[in-house]
């Protein structure tokens, strides 16, 4: 099995990483005052993080821990993390308070929510774009969160493993959530290969995936990864219910609907477990990680809001939200 093909560069940084991945010593341009959320930096970071997942076609497996590539990655992720802390300046925020706020559904329609839009008046071409950009995460769903398991103890570890067991199909390969999303993509007429839509994904989508990798690859950020994990589980069920309804309204097939129907049921249970056992267990064991958990919650929300805004702005103007039209990739 080989990984996906390498994408096209989006600037000097990503071009330098692409040139270095097969083996040469990287020559990275200076960061200067580069926007940490732009396409070039986010793609460069995504490429380096992806070496810890499926890698890329033509890139040797041992490049995962190449010291030069790690040295190249470090300033990129530091710039990204600093920007997140700047935009989410809540160092003393309470973890339970942060999670509790996620349980409050807005009254009526939320005009800033992609799931509300797709349920209410979205079109099939918009849902196909949404599925394409989300595939960068959903085709490796639960993998980034698995990195936190060896960094936990007791109640928190047991609860994360229980949830992850469900995410990975409860022992049934055909029920792995990443596999279910692959079936959803096939039902929508999309290519199901891992990483296929990387060239199409805007920086806002890359950042949401990079956040999980950033938190997952650093033990010092384990509290933030738990915050991200909790946010996903707490918000998944109501959002999935809306997306399943959208697919029914659009006349999508059973496989497309099944992915979100499964999340409505499973994540309604996970929400209680993650709040009381994962977060509660972690903070009972390591109380000082509370602000980190809250940071993970808020950083996740911040990047999801940016992605929502990008998608909805394009769609309301009747434009594609992708960097490359689906027709040019398929």
User: Taking all residues of the chain, what is their mean pLDDT, rounded to a whole number?
Assistant: 92
Under a CB-based contact definition with an 8 Å cutoff, are residues 104 and 98 in contact? Answer: no
CA distance 220 to 210: 16
Which residues of the chain have a pLDDT value below 70?
1, 90-92, 104-110, 266-268, 330
What pLDDT score does 105 carry? 63
Classify domain 95-329 at the CATH topology level. Heme Oxygenase; Chain A (1.20.910)
Q: DSSP states of 219-238 as a string?
A: GGGHHHHHHHHHHHHHHHHH
Closest CA to 165 of 186, 145, 182: 145
**Three-class SS state of 158:** helix
Question: 135 and 185 in contact (C-beta within 8 Å)?
Answer: yes
Contacts with 37 (C-beta within 8 Å, 6 or more apart), sequence order: 83, 203, 204, 207, 306
168-218: pLDDT as tens digits: 999 999 999 999 999 999 999 999 999 999 999 999 999 999 999 999 999
Annotated domain spans of the chain:
12-87, 95-329
- Rounded to whole angstroms, the Cα distance separating 3 from 290 reads 37
Determine the pLDDT at residue 31.
81
Task: List the helix and strand counts (H, then E) for the chain.
Answer: 15, 0
CA within 13 Å, CB half, 293: 27
Closest to 4 measured CA to CA, from 66, 59, 41, 72: 59
Q: What's residue 91's pLDDT? A: 59
The tens digit of pLDDT for each residue in 79-98 reads 999 999 999 876 567 888 88
Return the pLDDT at 106: 55
């Amino acid at each position: 099995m080989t990984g996906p093909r390498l994408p096209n560069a989006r600037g000097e940084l990503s071009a330098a990483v692409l040139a270095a991945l097969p083996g040469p010593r990287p020559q990275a341009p200076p960061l200067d005052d580069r926007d940490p959320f732009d396409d070039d930096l986010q793609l460069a970071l995504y490429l380096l993080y992806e070496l810890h997942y499926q890698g890329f076609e033509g890139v040797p497996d041992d490049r995962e821990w190449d010291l030069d590539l790690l040295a190249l990655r470090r300033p990129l992720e530091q710039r990204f993390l600093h920007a997140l802390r700047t935009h989410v300046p809540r160092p003393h925020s309470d973890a339970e308070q942060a999670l509790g706020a996620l349980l409050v559904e807005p009254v009526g329609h939320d005009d800033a929510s992609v799931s509300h839009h797709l349920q209410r008046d979205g079109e099939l071409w918009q849902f196909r774009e949404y599925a394409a950009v989300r595939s960068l995460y959903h085709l490796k769903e639960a993998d980034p969160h698995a990195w936190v398991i060896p960094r936990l103890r007791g109640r928190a570890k047991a609860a994360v493993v229980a949830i992850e067991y469900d995410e990975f199909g409860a022992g049934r390969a055909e029920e792995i959530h990443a596999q279910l999303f692959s079936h959803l993509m096939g039902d929508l007429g999309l290519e199901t290969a891992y990483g296929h839509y990387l060239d199409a994904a805007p920086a806002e989508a890359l950042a949401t995936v990079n956040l999980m990798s950033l938190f997952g690859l650093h033990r010092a950020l384990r509290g933030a990864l738990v915050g991200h994990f909790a946010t996903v589980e707490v918000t998944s069920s109501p959002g999935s219910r809306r997306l399943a309804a959208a697919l029914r309204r659009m006349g999508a097939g059973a496989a497309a609907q099944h992915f979100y129907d499964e999340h409505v049921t499973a994540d309604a249970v996970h929400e209680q477990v993650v709040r009381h056992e994962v977060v509660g267990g972690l903070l009972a064991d390591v109380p000082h990680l509370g602000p980190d958990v809250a940071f993970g919650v808020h950083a996740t929300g911040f990047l999801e809001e940016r992605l929502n805004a990008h998608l909805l702005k394009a769609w309301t103007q009747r434009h594609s939200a992708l960097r490359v039209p689906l027709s040019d990739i398929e």
